[in-house]
Amino acid sequence: MAVILNTKGLRKSFGAVTAAAGISIAVEEDSVVGLIGTNGAGKTTFVNMVTGYLKPDAGDIIFKDRDITELHPRDITRLGICRSFQIPQLYDSLSVFENLVIALGIRDRNVHGSVFSRTFKLVPAANPLVVAAAEQSMQRFGLLEYRERAARLLPEGVRKLLDIAMALISEPEVLILDEPTSGVSADEKFAIMDMVMDAVRSHGCTVMFVEHDMDIVTRYAPRVVAFYEGRILADGKAADVLSDEQVQSYVIGGLRALQTGASDISHA
Amino acid sequence: MNEFLAVLMDGLIYSSWLFVIALGLTLIYGVMKILNMAHGSFYALGAYAAASMVGYWLNHGHAPMASYGILVLAAVLVGLIAGPLIERGLLRFMYGRDEMVLLLVTYALFLILEDVIKLIWGVDPYFIPEPYSLLGTMDIASLTYPYYSFILIGVAVLAGGAVALVLQYTRQGKLLLAVIHDREVSLAMGINVSRFYLVTFTVGTALAAIGGALTAPTVSVVPGMGVEVIVLAFAVVVIGGLGSLEGAALGALIVGLVRSAAVHYLPQVELFCIYSVMALVLIFRPKGLFAAAEVRKI
Amino acid sequence: MQRNASRIIRVLAFTFCLILVLTLAATPGAAQQPVKVGVVTFLSGAAAGPFGVPAKQAAEVMVEALNAGGKVPGYPAKGLNGAPIELVFVDEAGGTTKQVTEYRNLAQRVDLVIGYISSGDCLAVAPVADELKKLTIFFDCGTPRVFEDASYKYLFRTGATSTMDNVAAAMYVVDTKPGLKKIAGINQNYSWGQDSWNDFVATMKVLKPNVQVATAQWPQLLSGQYGAEISALLSSGADVVHSSFWGGDMEAFVLQAVPRGLFKKSTVVLTCGETGMYKLGNEIPDGTIIGARGPFDMYAPDTALNRWFRKAYMDKFGGVPPSYPSYKMAQALLGLKSAWEKAKAKSPGDADKVIASFEHLTFEGPGGKVTMGLGKGHQAVQGMVFGTVKHEGGKVTYVNVKHYPADKVTPPEGVKAEDWIKSGFKK
Amino acid sequence: MTHTDKTPFVLLAALVVLLALGPFLPKSLFLLTMSLGKGLVVLGLVVLLRTGLVSFGQGLYYCVGAYAVGSLSQFASVKNAVLLLLAGTLVTAILATILGFLLANYRGIFFAMLTLALSMIVYGLLVKTSTLGSTDGFNVPPASLLGKVISGQSNQYPMFALACIVAFVAAVLTNSYLWTALGQLSSAIRDNEIRVEYMGASVRNAVHTKYVLAGALAGLGGAVTALAIGHIDPEMAYWTTSGEFVFVAILGGTGSVIAPFLGSIIFEFIRTYAYQYSPNTWQLVLGAALLLLIIFLPAGLWSVFARLRRRT
């Protein structure tokens, strides 16, 4: 299959701390990749570099044969890489519906025509197409019951879903999920991942997700990349990687210890 | 050369005056996140209190030397009365509200205090010139300066140093730093935040009042004397970086020296040199000179 | 839509009532008798102490005496030709925008307006006075532009313009210090300060073309801290330092400059010095040249009217003597009274008659004779006086006091002050 | 965010009522005209406030707009009121576009302080310009419309009517802007800039546009005021003037484009009373009134109306 996203020797250090020491991953189109590793292993740093929030000290990021290393998050988003966040990034004072409508408003401006040709015509909240799209999205992620509730008042699990729903609004070609189930109760986590995966399949896109929860990883990620201290410890079929004893000792061991506290991490 | 020395001296004196006032402002902002519009009114209160107390003292023929003590005493009294009164009586009901709302509350406070001062002291000017000339003068760069001006510099250094030491080396100071750094966490850690707010506001008020009290002998104490001070202090604090002690010091120095240089070499621009400096600093250091850069976790 | 309509109506009804209520409350009906006089002076802010309140108090003293009748020497009749005067005070603070608004409100409540200390307010209010056809008397503001740039029917100014202050100041300096070579100035950085300094320098250039300006300092209004300025003045080596500072700024400047020896090094001219003399007199060294913006206070002539005014004022306000704003306010009221009675006006309805007799009127004020000589008879001209401070036996006195008659220090009709000065005072 | 917006209808109705009511309130027309003029400035501030930005320098545009009008009618003897208003707006829009490139990077207190500094610099420049009358400023000759002199007249109605119509148009346009995708970004940017960027929109551009809009509205407000008062001076750019606008904005609330005008009208009336009935302590009255409002109507006066509406 064709490689859609390819990172070559990404390096990033914060002062003395090396968060990424040459990360190279090639992601095929329509594949699903799980990124695992203890906290500080460099997963989120990697995601932040790919999505332009951090500029790598060295290395390249190639998206569909195009170098996006130096681009801003908004340009990368416009090219078709969208992400969700470990700490959901929502418009807290606005309702679920409004959050989605704003997302759609921006999407429509980027997808069709210039700012000015659109904005002065388009009043998202009044535009039936937009409303329909928003409701479909709420439908898909079971958000309808929270429609008019302000985002800051939502339960953590729902915030995660809304965060992901907003990422999917822009119909990305690559979707990156940063700990989609952290801070979510054990009985909810599979439900959430199922919803996400359905949504993804429905319009077909490549998925990379950072995850601490091995059950989730084994169940949803055919391919797994294990991070350790800014390096890639192992990369390959889920089964192989998870059975690798280095991974077992350095990564999974560490994670098991964390499992219980996972929910706190997301609040940190 | 002489002129240059004069610029330095005048700048230094002006800076010290500014610093004492700005210190309270930056302290209050750092801890309580309130940009206190009423700060100038506390300055005026200090000046009025000092003027009437010292005036009384001298009119009753007591030792003039003691008037310096009374100046400070007056300011401290203002701090101890006005500070807690306003913090407990009004501000504490406003915590958690938006920074701008708090700014407006203090603006309303400023309006009220302007008239309260008028109701207490009337509109006639008060003079207590004695302390200014009492200590005699000395010549620097063929210019005459009263020793009193150096007292001002001393007080500025003392005040700044004291605050710095308290923050660095006392337990309370460290706790206060914790509060400054993160209110929620400090609360969670069981720090009595509201007490710190009370103390901080009182100290800040007292500092403004001291600024006013020490200015009283050199000016005619009149209504509205606090208005111009507010924006000056704002400028200093913003240039330095809000809530930063060393920032306020550096800001005061910059403003003071720039202004006195302007006065000596280019009097026409005195009016807006301060704002130009403020604009320039913000253009090149968007958060002021001593701003802590915060990285947001996502 | 039905429900929307009802909501809209409710909201509007609310707004409507609100505006209506506010309006009704905002506009109490004006009474017929007595004559209501609106008085606008600074009751708050920095100009209240030196100007606003003394003027307000003078108005109270005068009106009390006038309404009683037979008390004011030379003005026997009660009130205004029999009609008692009633005062309505308004604060002049808050800038021209607010003042125009307040003037319009006031105009609805009173029969005529006396007031305005700030030149900006005067310029802003002037056209409105004619627009509302409301007799208005400026008693203090100094800018000559009011009647230089335009002419008005309902507007009078019973106080002379600031031109004469500084023209006379320059003349006095040249008379008393013929040898001077260098002058310097410290003036507040706004119209008043700029105009004063420009007039002073322009006159100097005419009288002594070889005089050079050592430095001109422009501290911000109300800045209160003059350390650097004083250093600059000290090192400028000027023989004469000119300042149009007033109120708190003037007093602060004195308090900061005296200990540093500026008043010893150079002769300081304080064109508005008079307001500070009562409280600050002992701080102001001998040799300082003091102006009172006219023949007022210590420079006022020893007439029955002046003696009465000083006494009445001091009796009422605990021995504090009236300063020049008090004199100018008294002058405005007496000018009005003279015009009113010359016109034999019965009620405010006779405004046009009053105006007719006010034009080119000459009347007696506590500061002496006042002639409405300029601005088509709407602008007063008066002589100017300067003197030098000398302490004798712990009391402040004024030596070599010089009077400058009106025609020496004010331009002729239709000539702008600055052109007149540049022309070398052509008549 | 309701799906259909009734504000335009309310505005239209309000316009009709005001125009119809005008002749019966001759004594308040001037005050109302002023309130509308200042309301326009506040309207601009509300656009910024919704974006989480507070400008303490709107006085800059208020003043420049007024001076544009003043200079044009004084020195270029342009007398057409509409032309003058447009000029005032245009000039400030251009100025705001230029300064916007700088200010679009700033947030919070620093945005507030930088705007303050800029307007104080303009104040300083005007004070130094004696050809424009320094602090005394200068008078604005009466302007005319359809060959009829409308300002500087004892009959205030025409000027008032013009102000009403201008305010109406500005409010409707602003309102519809706020409903567009770009307008909607306001609250999004206030809440979470990172997410906005990650949705693929440029926060910088959005802020810049809003700043220009606010500047233009302030300029228009200044122009209206200049015509209504007939006198202008640098005080309009002084920081206290800008502070007052912020004050009124909070007072009215940011809930609707109607709020600024409501807040402005009420503020002007409160102040006028304070002036008339306690000339010696009007600041105290004003301050107290504002404290009470902040305490009992935290969401601004508009919340009263919002409640009024919600009840149905």
**Do A83 and D198 count as a contact with CB atoms less than 8 A apart?**
yes
Give the model confidence (pLDDT) of A122-165 as tens digits.
Answer: 566 667 778 888 999 999 898 999 999 999 999 988 999 999 99
Interface check B69 vs C, CB under 8 A: no
Q: Decide if D196 is inside a domain.
A: yes
Which among C304, C298, C279, C306 has a CA at the least distance from the CA of C385?
C298
The domain containing residue B95 runs over which residues? Answer: 2-284
Please report the pLDDT score of residue A265 as a whole number: 40
Q: Decide if D10 is inside a domain.
A: no
Tokens matching residue B146? 């009263």
Q: Decide if D133 is inside a domain.
A: yes
**Do D235 and C120 count as a contact with CB atoms less than 8 A apart?**
yes
Q: pLDDT band for position B191 (50/70/90)?
A: confident
Interface check B296 vs A, CB under 8 A: no
Percent of chain C with pLDDT strictly greater than 90: 84
Give the model confidence (pLDDT) of B202-246 as tens digits.
Answer: 999 999 999 999 999 999 999 888 888 998 999 999 999 888 899
Please report the pLDDT score of residue A118 as a whole number: 47
Task: For residues B96-119, give the mean pLDDT.
Answer: 89
Please report the pLDDT score of residue D229 as a whole number: 92
pLDDT at residue A113 tops 80: no
Percent of chain A with pLDDT strictly greater than 70: 88
Q: Which residues from chain D sit within 8 angstroms of residue C124, using beta carbons? A: 137, 139, 229-231, 233
Question: B77-81, B95-99, C171-175: lowest mean pLDDT where?
Answer: B95-99
pLDDT winner (highest mean) among A217-221, C360-364, D74-78: C360-364
**Do B282 and D114 count as a contact with CB atoms less than 8 A apart?**
yes
Task: For residues B166-174, give the mean pLDDT.
Answer: 91
What distance in Å separates residue D171's CA from the closest CA in chain C? Answer: 16
Reported as half-sphere exposure (CB side, CA atoms, 13 A), residue C409 has a value of: 29
Percent of chain D with pLDDT strictly greater than 70: 97
Q: Decide if B290 is inside a domain.
A: no
Q: Decide if D285 is inside a domain.
A: no
Question: A28-32, C94-98, C252-256: lowest mean pLDDT where?
Answer: C94-98
Taken in order of first residue, the domains within chain C and their CATH numbers are: 35-160+300-381 (3.40.50.2300), 163-292+383-422 (3.40.50.2300)
Q: Decide if B295 is inside a domain.
A: no
* DSSP per-residue codes, B37-48: TTHHHHHHHHHH
pLDDT at residue D121 tops 90: yes
The domain containing residue D190 runs over which residues? Answer: 32-238
Q: Which residues from chain D sit within 8 angstroms of residue A89, using beta carbons? A: 192, 194-195, 198
Q: Which residues from chain B sit within 8 angstroms of residue A86, using beta carbons? A: 298
What distance in Å separates residue B271's CA from the closest CA in chain D? Answer: 6
- Touching subunits of B (3+ CB pairs, under 8 Å) are A, C, D
From first CA to last CA, the distance across chain A in angstroms is 39
Q: Which residues from chain A sit within 8 angstroms of residue B298, using beta carbons? A: 48, 53, 85-87, 89
Which among B26, B28, B10, B29 has a CA at the least distance from the CA of B253?
B10
Interface check B283 vs A, CB under 8 A: no
**Do D109 and B35 count as a contact with CB atoms less than 8 A apart?**
yes
Provide the CATH number for the domain around residue B154: 1.10.3470
Please report the pLDDT score of residue D1 as a whole number: 42
Give the model confidence (pLDDT) of B130-162 as tens digits.
Answer: 999 899 999 987 899 999 999 999 999 999 999
Interface check D243 vs B, CB under 8 A: yes
Q: pLDDT band for position C5 (50/70/90)?
A: low
Count the domains in chain D.
1
Under 8 Å between Cβ of A176 and A47 = yes
Please report the pLDDT score of residue D3 as a whole number: 47
Give the model confidence (pLDDT) of C165-187 as tens digits.
Answer: 999 999 999 999 999 999 999 99
Q: Is the pTM of this model over 0.80?
A: yes
CB contact burial C59-84 (16+ within 10 A = b; e otherwise): bbbbbebbbeeeebeebeebbbbebe
Give the model confidence (pLDDT) of C79-99 as tens digits.
Answer: 999 999 999 999 999 889 889
Count the residues in chain B.
Answer: 298
- Touching subunits of A (3+ CB pairs, under 8 Å) are B, D
Q: Decide if D22 is inside a domain.
A: no
ipTM passes above 0.85 = yes
**Do B125 and C49 count as a contact with CB atoms less than 8 A apart?**
yes
Interface check A95 vs D, CB under 8 A: yes
Closest partner residue to A77 (CB to CB) among D1, D176, D200 is: D200
Please report the pLDDT score of residue A260 as a whole number: 52
**Cα torsion angle, A118, A122, A128, A130, sign:** positive
Q: Which residues from chain B sit within 8 angstroms of residue C220, using beta carbons? A: 228, 270-271
Q: Is D24 exposed, middle or buried (0-12, 13-18, 19+ CB in 10 A)?
A: exposed
Count the domains in chain B.
1
Question: C96-105, C144-153, C357-366, D302-311: lowest mean pLDDT where?
Answer: D302-311
Task: Report the distance separating Cα B182 and Cα D28, nearest Å.
Answer: 51
Task: Report the distance separating Cα A149 and Cα C339, nearest Å.
Answer: 74
Q: Decide if B135 is inside a domain.
A: yes
Count the residues in chain A.
Answer: 268
Taking CA atoms, what residue in B is nearest to D54? B100
Q: What are all long-range contacts of A264-267, with beta carbons under 8 Å and residues at least 24 apart?
A: A265/A39, A265/A179, A265/A182, A265/A183, A265/A212, A266/A86, A266/A87, A266/A156, A266/A179, A266/A182, A266/A183, A267/A87, A267/A183
* DSSP per-residue codes, C334-371: HHHHHHHHHTT--SGGGHHHHHHHHTT-EEEETTEEEE
- Strand, helix or coil for residue C213: strand
Task: For residues A32-41, give the mean pLDDT.
Answer: 90
Q: In the beta sheet, which residues pair with residue C91?
A: C41
Q: Decide if B45 is inside a domain.
A: yes
Task: For residues D211-238, give the mean pLDDT.
Answer: 96
Q: Decide if B11 is inside a domain.
A: yes
Is the preceding omega at residue D23 within 30 degrees of 0, hence cis? no
Which residues 6+ apart lie within 8 Å of A265 measured at CB? Answer: A39, A179, A182, A183, A212, A258
Q: Decide if B292 is inside a domain.
A: no
Q: Decide if D26 is inside a domain.
A: no
Q: In the beta sheet, which residues pair with residue A95?
A: A150
Tokens matching residue C329? 């306010």
**Cα torsion angle, D62, D65, D70, D73, sign:** negative
Q: pLDDT band for position C293 (50/70/90)?
A: very high
